[in-house]
Amino acid sequence: IEEIAKQAKLKKDEASQALSAVFQIITESLKKDEPIYLPGFGKFKLTKRAATKGRNPRTGDPIDIPAKNLPSFIAGSALKEAVNS
């Protein structure tokens, strides 16, 4: 928050509100299964994992593992280049 406030020349509470708004927008978009593209940074998207069968490691009994949606992030080429230069 401090670094955002410093670089954007905002007060700390304004920077905190802005960051919270970004996270809320990303969350709400993923709930609707809409990907979020941040040019030069990357893409947030929803990955769907199918239901599977598994085993309880303690008892060995079979269990059903339910399907679920998982948020994922794919780094953009500019971000990859920046961290590798």
Q: How many residues are present in the chain?
A: 85
Q: How confident is the model at residue 53 (pLDDT cuts 50, 70, 90)?
A: very high
Per-residue pLDDT, 10: 94
Chain CA centroid to CA 28, Å: 11
Terminal Cα distance for the chain, rounded: 26
Per-residue pLDDT, 37: 95
Give the Cβ contact number of residue 22 at 10 Å.
13
Give the Cβ contact number of residue 12 at 10 Å.
12
Per-residue pLDDT, 80: 94
pTM here is 0.77
> Tokens in use for 81?
């280049």
**Contact between residue 72 and residue 45 where contact means Cβ atoms under 8 Å apart:** yes
Tens-place pLDDT, residues 18-49: 999 999 999 999 999 999 999 999 999 999 99
80 residue type, one letter:
K
